Structure 1
Amino acid sequence: MSFLQPEFMQRALLAALLVGIMAPAVGIYLVQRRQAIMGDGIGHVALTGVALGFLLNTSPVWMAVLVAVAGAIVMELIRSYGKTRGDIALAMLFYGGMAGGVMIINLAPGGSTANLNSYLFGAITLVSDSDVLSIGILSAFVLLAMLGLRRQFFAISQDEEFAKVTGIPVRVLNLLLAVTAAVTVTVAMRVVGLLMVSALMVVPVAAAQQATRGFAMTLALAMAFAVLSTLSGTVFSFYVDVPPGASIVLIAIALFAVATVAALPLARRAVRAERARASAEDPGAWHNGRSEATAATSRRQA
């Protein structure tokens, strides 16, 4: 049977495509800002929102969006204003979100931690029509924000102080980035799960950085890697009957490994080209630099 025949697979593949495009669009800025772990923290907080959805008999996805957005704003404020105790406050928020989710789900009528499995580890084959609609709406919001303001976000990711001097509203954009990261986590939780969603935001970007250095090319390649991971992981799980979230993440990591190995010859070639260029401009520069390096090594050994 073709994987395209079942309706649940059609919905799953559409959700996987949307998440694959959206996750790197946010993740690339988190990687640039060295905040790759932020998605993990938001996932912990979003778990409380999922549990509240069960407790209040409302949509777990939309409740998770509200709680995750609030948590992400608090995280950004702690990052901006927190001093030596900022990391401790963030840790409390992360662990409190996880513990609160487990506690609340057990208080919900007929609730149990088993109900959280599809949100913790992903259950893309259980995506409903309403889930696809929610993912589509939220993905459109994220992509419009990330791509429409890409120059401003790139600026604050490189140097916040310089961005302030140029008149960019850094604080507002930082909060917007936190909100879009929260939305991305809650949207992707149905695909890869809250415990692994950060990988889909970070690993494709890291893989793309092995092959290119330009921002636009890195973003495009990261999206391609993420879409390839989500679609192939979903199809693989259909035929082999394994968890789709784990399949997607492992494929993304495999792509990173392949990109890293493939980039090694290119890096060596670039070094040789730079040496040749420097030698052509100043024939004695490379020789003198090499002699100085050899002398320094000899002094250290002595």
Structure 2
Amino acid sequence: MDLLLQDFMLRALVGALIIGLTAPALGIYLVQRRLSLIGDGIGHVALTGVGVGLLLQRSPVITAVVVSVLGAIVVELVRERGRTSGDLALALLFYGGIAGGVVLVGLSKGSGNANLMQYLFGSLLTTSPQDLTIIAILGAAVLVAMLGLRPALFAVCNDEEHARVSGLPVRTLNLLMAVTTAVTVTIAMRTVGLLLVSALMVVPVAGAQQVTRGFRATMTTAMAIGVIAAAAGVWVAGEADTAPGATIVILAIAAFLALAVGAATWRTLRGRIGADRPADHAEPPDVVLSEVSH
């Protein structure tokens, strides 16, 4: 516990908690739209932004935010209006982003390989006060948008055509989701790395879906799983001297497996109890109240 009293560990813990709360809050919408892998694509574009920052000797976090936001907007417009399919647009994003990033990082001065590894797999323990400020501000903005616009965003993710007929600004909301995804990926690259950030968006949501019903309950549970995995991951990494980002993701996956096994076991036990109960003493079926999804 003494390790957590160190300034760098406190910054790492605060940064991880912000991402652990923010990533699942956004990820539930991506899962709803079956865009679970878009975080990986935008992560590759963010790598190009990192390369630009290193080459120009500017803050890589800021340049990565700008480049990834522009990339996310382009992909959303291509998906909506162009002839290129969404899958092909994501493929172009993957390959072009990582190729541009590797070239630019190689052209930058200093230890390019070391810098590249920090952003690919995270370097939470080297988070500076400036990085933490940027993470906190942008994370708060994403969280406010995801919670404040939950009914409208859920409507768009659930049925885009119905949302458009209902008068919702579908294009604006889609662009907002693209931008917030880019921002979340960028601020999370210091925590879990660009290659692992998508896991923190998706895995807590997948775990929450094993034990919850309704959109609101799933969102709340996923955020709780993300926060617990982030806090525990930083502590375990500090004690065991492992990579914090990878440790956080492994703990999130472990939580998913535990919840999946527990839920499956509970369903099996309930099925056996119901089968063994005499028909004349059978209880009426449970009445499941429909929960307002938004």
Give the TM-score, by structure 2 length.
0.90
Q: How many aligned residue pairs are there?
A: 278
Aligned match of 1:293: none
Q: Deviations for 1:14-64, whole angstroms, at most 9, x for unmatched residues?
A: 111111110011000000000000000000000000010011111100100
Mapped to 2, the partners of 1:16 and 1:247 lie a distance apart of 11
In the alignment, structure 1 residue 52 sits paired with structure 2 residue 52:
yes
Look up the match of 2:217.
217
Does 1:121 pair with 2:97?
A: no
Structure 1 gaps of 5+ residues are 281-302
Q: Percent identity?
A: 56
User: Partner of 1:227 in structure 2?
Assistant: 227
Structure-to-structure mapping, 1:256-295, within 5 angstroms: 256-268=256-268
After the TM superposition, which residues 16-165 of structure 1 pair with which residues of structure 2 at under 5 Å, given as runs?
Answer: 16-83=16-83, 85-165=85-165
3-state secondary structure, aligned to 1:211: coil
Is 1:203 the counterpart of 2:216 in the alignment? no
| Contact 2:69-2:179 within 8 A present in 1 as well | yes
Check whether the contact 1:105–1:111 (CA below 8 A) recurs between aligned residues: no
Q: 1:182 to 1:11 in 2, by over 3 A?
A: same
User: Residues of 2 paired with 1:216 and 1:85: CA distance?
Assistant: 31
Counterpart in 2 of 1:194? 194
CA distance in 1, matches of 2:133, 2:248: 22
Give the ranges of 4+ consecutive aligned residues of structure 1 lying more than 4 Å apart after TM superposition: 268-275
Q: Do 1:48 and 1:100's aligned partners in 2 also have CA atoms closer than 8 Å?
A: yes
- Structure 2 CA distance for partners of 1:127 and 1:151, relative to 1, 3 Å: same
Q: Match for residue 290 of structure 2? A: none
Residues of 2 paired with 1:249 and 1:214: CA distance? 25
For normalisation by structure 1, the TM-score amounts to: 0.87
Q: Is the 8 A contact 2:79 2:85 kept in 1?
A: no
CA drift of 1:217 comes to 1.0
Instruction: Tell me how far apart the structure 2 counterparts of residues 47 and 274 of structure 1 sit (CA, whole Å).
Output: 54
8 A contact 1:15–1:191 mirrored in 2: yes
Please state whether the residue corresponding to 2:4 is helix, strand or coil: coil
**Would the aligned equivalents of 1:102 and 1:113 in 2 still touch at CA under 8 Å?**
no
| Aligned match of 2:178 | 178
Counterpart Cα distance in 1 of 2:134 and 2:75: 25
One-letter code of the match for 2:102? V
- Provide the rounded CA distance (Å) in 1 between the counterparts of 2:30 and 2:86: 18
What CA distance in whole angstroms lies between the structure 2 residues aligned with 1:85 and 1:130?
39
Gaps of 5+ in 2: 281-294
Any conservation in 2 of the 1:32–1:158 contact (CA below 8 Å)? yes
What is the CA-CA distance between 1:85 and the residue it aligns to?
A: 4.7
Is the CA contact 1:12–1:125 (under 8 Å) kept in the aligned structure 2? yes
String of CA shifts for 1:127-149, please: whole Å, max 9, x gaps.
11111100110011101111110
- Deviations along 1:87-108, one digit per CA (max 9) or x if unpaired, are 3333122111001001011112
Superposition deviation, residue 84 in structure 1: 5.6
Q: Which is higher, the Rg of structure 1 or of structure 2?
A: 1
